Amino acid sequence: MNTTKLSWLDRFFKLSHYKTNVKTEILAGLTTFVTMAYIIVVQPDLMKAAGMDQGAVMVTVLIASGLFSIIMGLYAKRPFGVAPGMGGNVFFAYSIVAAGLATWQQGLGMVFISGVVFLLLTFLGLRETISRIIPKNIKHAIGAAVGLFIIGTGFANAGIIVQNKTGTLTLGSLHSPTVLLSLIGLVIIIGLMARKLKAAVFIGIIITSIIGIPMGITKLPHSFGDLFSLPPDPSSIIFQVDIPGALKLAFFPLMFTFFTGEFFSTMGTVLGVGAKANLLDKEGNLPDIKKPFIVDGIATVGGSLLGQTTITTYIESASGVEAGGRTGLTAVTTGIVFLLALFVTPLILLIPSAATAPALIVIGLSMLATLKNINMDELEETLPALLTVISAGLTFSLANGIVFGILSYVVIKVFMGKFRDIHIGLWILCIPLIYYLWLK
């Protein structure tokens, strides 16, 4: 019976084709979940600023992330976990709702409309077209940009790099228990990876969490029963989308910011993580990229109905890829664990950020290897690619990196008189990109 099950999974997800197996894919899915799990806490806390019920938000985060990660795995068959995107949620909570520009119901309406536009552009083939016309070197740079973004996130979560009073970055206190535990975790994961252990990242996170117990960082519950609980009632935020209220002309620039940021963030993540998993073709394109885009659009529309901000493909999916995940079975596993977490959220929340931060750092470092694919022989090709990486890392925005990379590519080619090198689609694309920067 087991052989039959394995055979069916192998045929459906093409495990043998991608040189992987069920055990590896499940472990990879668990690893992706662990590195994404912070959203379970972060999203409700952010949405509190928008006046939404925290318990209800936590429940729909788990439902939306679980459901759409499973759909990503079954339909797109890629190892990409999805959840409410960081950046879009902050913009929603603080720049729109807390600032008094709109109600959270109208904000959800904006998310819904953005999702519909995502789907329309995907079915029309425009999202796939845009991903193809982006210069090859910039596509390769996106993988490294994702890596630098993840490294920065890891260092920040660990407290190893902090912002000082002047606004610049500096080294955090090595006397801090959080920093110390993160460094210990970094050594553990690097050591396990050096021994070529496929489960290095996941095992490293668990060991680091255990070490954090005597250090007072991993907080244990008062009793065993505290690890399990029934989820709160999410009815206060489900189907509260105010679509007519979101169709005000004054809201269009806000929706454009939502749309553009998530559009390029998702594209960058799909290409970047796809590169890490060796899924891209010789031109730097992901075969059947339309499918992840369709899931992304459906997730955004469905997520808004569940009371969530823009649902997007997660950069942390790279952790599952690092653990060996190559197919949709990884995403399905991640989704199932999100749904199971509805009843064991306290257990999941025991894992401190100091345990996941070193995993992000190591994963990000490994993704910088995509820089080797960039052609360094021609300056006008090299500079936009490097600008993509640097601007994404320094601004903590993958979308910003792609925008600066594309615009700089066009500008440099114009100054060199190489107009034929610029695809007509890039000329058209520059218009909304400039508008996006102007809105910033």
Query: What mean pLDDT comes out for the span 267-283?
Result: 82
Strand 82-84 versus strand 169-171 pairing type: unpaired
Looking at residue 1, its pLDDT comes to: 38
> Is 403 within 8 Å of 387 (Cβ atoms)?
no
Q: Is the pLDDT of residue 363 over 80?
A: no
Query: What mean pLDDT comes out for the span 311-336?
Result: 91
**221-235, 288-302, 394-408: which range is least confident on average?**
221-235
24 phi, psi to nearest 5 deg:
-65, -45
C-alpha distance from residue 351 to each of 36, 105, 205, 254 (Å): 11, 32, 8, 35
**114-118, 258-262, 275-279, 324-328: which range is least confident on average?**
258-262
Query: What mean pLDDT comes out for the span 111-131?
Result: 87
**Which 3 state secondary structure label does DSSP give 170?**
strand
Instruction: Output 135 or 60, whichever has higher pLDDT.
Output: 60
The per-residue pLDDT for range 235-249, each reduced to its tens digit, is 999 999 999 999 887
Instruction: Output 33 or 168, whichever has higher pLDDT.
Output: 33
CA pair distance 396, 438, nearest whole angstrom:
18
The per-residue pLDDT for range 69-85, each reduced to its tens digit, is 999 999 999 999 999 98
Q: Is the pLDDT of residue 3 over 80?
A: no
Q: Is the pLDDT of residue 201 over 50?
A: yes
- Cβ density class 227-248: b for 16+ within 10 Å, e for less: beeebbebeebbebbbeebbee
Q: Is the pLDDT of residue 440 over 80?
A: no
Strand 311-313 versus strand 82-84 pairing type: antiparallel
Query: What mean pLDDT comes out for the span 290-309?
Result: 93
Q: Which band of pLDDT confidence, cut at 50, 70 and 90, is reported for residue 409?
A: very high
Q: Which band of pLDDT confidence, cut at 50, 70 and 90, is reported for residue 161?
A: confident
CA pair distance 411, 417, nearest whole angstrom:
10
Token reading at 119: 């789907």
Query: What mean pLDDT comes out for the span 343-365?
Result: 81
Q: Share the mean pLDDT of the chain.
A: 85
Q: Angle at Cα 366 formed by Cα 360 and Cα 371, nearest 5°?
A: 125
Query: What mean pLDDT comes out for the span 403-412?
Result: 91
Q: Which band of pLDDT confidence, cut at 50, 70 and 90, is reported for residue 226?
A: low
CA pair distance 316, 361, nearest whole angstrom:
11
CA pair distance 141, 164, nearest whole angstrom:
29
Query: Across 110-119, 151-160, 351-360, 366-375, which has the greatest mean pLDDT?
Result: 110-119
Q: 215: closest CA among 183, 259, 253, 181?
A: 181
Looking at residue 76, its pLDDT comes to: 94
Instruction: Output 290 or 378, whichever has higher pLDDT.
Output: 290
Q: Which band of pLDDT confidence, cut at 50, 70 and 90, is reported for residue 177?
A: very high
Q: Which band of pLDDT confidence, cut at 50, 70 and 90, is reported for residue 227?
A: low
Q: Which band of pLDDT confidence, cut at 50, 70 and 90, is reported for residue 5?
A: low
Query: What mean pLDDT comes out for the span 270-280?
Result: 84
Looking at residue 248, its pLDDT comes to: 85
Q: Which band of pLDDT confidence, cut at 50, 70 and 90, is reported for residue 319?
A: confident
Instruction: Output 252 or 299, whichever has higher pLDDT.
Output: 299
Torsion 254-255-260-263 (CA) sign:
positive
Instruction: Output 24 or 401, whichever has higher pLDDT.
Output: 24
Looking at residue 433, its pLDDT comes to: 84
Looking at residue 66, its pLDDT comes to: 97
Please report, rounded to a whole number, the percentage of residues in the chain having pLDDT higher than 90: 33
412 phi, psi to nearest 5 deg:
-65, -45
CA pair distance 189, 202, nearest whole angstrom:
9
Q: Which amino acid is at 217?
A: I
Q: Is the pLDDT of residue 346 over 80?
A: no
Q: Which amino acid is at 413?
A: K
